[in-house]
Structure 1
Amino acid sequence: MRKILLILLCALPLIAQPAGAEEGLHLRSVDVDMTDNAALQRGAKYFVNYCLSCHSLSAVRYNLFERLGLTPEQIRGNLIFTDRKIGETMAVAMRPEDAKRWFGAPPPDLSVIARARGADWLYTYLTTFYLDDTRPTGVNNLAFPKVGMPDVIWQLQGLQAAIPLSGGPHQNSSDVSIDHLNLVQPGTMTPVEYEHAAQDLVAFLVYVGEPSKLERQRLGLWVLAFLALLFVVSYFLKKEYWKDVRH
């Protein structure tokens, strides 16, 4: 119970954003297939390479990835870059006081961020960073205006500039209504490749938020089938018990 409360408290910096920050925001839809182990493995790779240096998954142990078809040797060789054991949680080495000094607040734990925000919000967040000289990190985000997180995956996506509704160059003002984003410096991936990478990362975060979801759904079908059978048996049993009762 204490761990669950800790996770929720860690997620507050992302959940409790300024009122109206997302007003009018059109979320980009993303399809998440939790049965696609290859996509989930790629998402895990992106997370440990670009996110785990700041964001922990305190409710997730490395050996969870064995469910995705990875062997302990593959997990140690490709997903663990520290001296942590395969049975330990995915924690970060960054001290909270250092994080607060560098970013203004410790980066939140992402164990349940997909359940708190939703897959579409996460996908929109990962694909809508744009240049903004008024921000300390040099970037802003459509899904999370004035976000303190730098665009750590800009090398994959490239750099985007915001085009205001009125047309013309963006003046880096937070009160300008943005029409769309333009790619001004390509990354190592094409736009389509990056969108697939973002989708894989979102799928991974959805998976770790509820890794037993597929098992729960499969069990639910058996429960419904049992209840249906029980209803039929109970109905005929009731008729048998009451057949001699006169009204």
Structure 2
Amino acid sequence: MKRWMLVLWLLLMPLVALGSDARSVSPDLNDKASLQRGLKFYVNYCLGCHTLEYQRYSRTAADLDIPQALMEEHLVFSSAQAFDDPMVNALKEEEAQQWWGVRPPDLTLATKHRGVDWVYAYLLGFYEDPSRPLGVNNILVESVAMPNVLEPLQGVQVMGCPQGASRVLSRPEECRELALARPGLLSPAEFEQAVFDITNFLAYVSEPSRLKAQGVAPGVMIFVFVFGVMAYLLKREYWRDVR
């Protein structure tokens, strides 16, 4: 038995080591400030290309406690859009094909499809690559067609193992380390928080009902507990006569 346990441990050790190096984040849908910041970053840097076809401005404002007037003034930029409209853009199919060769995907279900860890690492993983048409590449998606729209905030990252550079995201294999070569408007810690806020917002968008479900959950658990106690006492009362 001990021999088999040792063999199993040796087989699992590489997986444990790999998991310890992975970047992992947990969405916090109760953090309204983070969700509001994520909405702001998404509308200003992402919505011009990536729609949220299954999410409405009105639903977002209601869930995130944003007054309608404030939402319409600062986050609904197109005069053709109403407060109750889905969060879409004016990008045309032919324009997208001409600029990038493909229409940018809708991101309503991005965290459901890829997972929150993937989205978070992807947004952190852009680096300078002069061989690419847009001058950037991504550590998760080789030959990525998307520009690094967050570069003004993040700055410019380079791939390699430079000494003394601020480490942002690293991969141990083949010295594939991303280092900040030219800083942006935010510090690395501030930028990682901004990326988390965007990821957190997309996690909310993928399942808006979950926000309300979490609010109702404590009351439901209390009801189930009280009902269980009452059912148990009632069961004892009935079985006392049977015995």
TM-score range relative to shorter protein: 0.7 to 0.9
CA deviation string 1:104-142 (max 9, x = no partner): 221111112122222222221111101123322221111
Distance 1:138 1:178, change over 3 A: farther
How many residues align? The count is 214
Unmatched 5+ stretches in structure 1: 1-22, 166-175
Aligned to 1:40: 35
Is 1:72 the counterpart of 2:68? The answer is: yes
Which gives a bigger RCO, structure 1 or 2 (Cα 8 Å, sep 6+)?
A: 1
Q: What is the CA-CA distance between 1:233 and the residue it aligns to? A: 2.4
Aligned to 1:62: 57
Aligned to 1:160: 157
Aligned to 2:78: 82
Matching residue's letter, 1:72: Q
> TM-score when scaled to structure 1?
0.77
Q: What is the CA-CA distance between 1:25 and the residue it aligns to? A: 11
Aligned to 2:191: 194
CA deviation string 1:14-72 (max 9, x = no partner): xxxxxxxxx99954233533223222222111111110110000111111223323211
Matched position secondary structure for 1:150 = coil
Matched position secondary structure for 1:109 = coil
> TM-score when scaled to structure 2?
0.78
* Identity, % of aligned positions: 42
Aligned equivalent of 1:108, options 86, 105, 109: 105
Is 1:220 the counterpart of 2:210? The answer is: no
Unmatched 5+ stretches in structure 2: 1-17, 163-172
Q: What is the CA-CA distance between 1:205 and the residue it aligns to? A: 1.3
Q: What is the CA-CA distance between 1:77 and the residue it aligns to? A: 1.2
Distance 1:203 1:219, change over 3 A: same
Matched position secondary structure for 1:29 = coil
Aligned to 2:206: 209
Aligned to 2:6: none
Native 8 Å contact 1:25 1:142 kept in 2: no
Distance 1:36 1:221, change over 3 A: closer
Q: Distance in 1 between matches of 2:198 and 2:66?
A: 17
Matched position secondary structure for 1:146 = coil
Native 8 Å contact 2:204 2:211 kept in 1: no
Matching residue's letter, 2:145: G
Matched position secondary structure for 2:242 = coil
Aligned equivalent of 2:236, options 225, 228, 239: 239
CA RMSD, 1 decimal: 2.5
Deviates more, 1:61-70 or 1:86-95: 61-70
Q: Distance in 2 between matches of 1:179 and 1:37?
A: 36
Native 8 Å contact 1:62 1:87 kept in 2: yes
Native 8 Å contact 2:128 2:135 kept in 1: yes
Q: Distance in 2 between matches of 1:42 and 1:218?
A: 21
Q: What is the CA-CA distance between 1:159 and the residue it aligns to? A: 0.9
Q: What is the CA-CA distance between 1:101 and the residue it aligns to? A: 3.2
Is 1:29 the counterpart of 2:39? The answer is: no
Aligned to 1:180: 177
Deviates more, 1:85-94 or 1:100-109: 100-109
Q: What is the CA-CA distance between 1:87 and the residue it aligns to? A: 0.7
Q: What is the CA-CA distance between 1:202 and the residue it aligns to? A: 1.5
Aligned to 1:169: none
Q: Distance in 2 between matches of 1:144 and 1:107?
A: 14
Aligned to 2:13: none
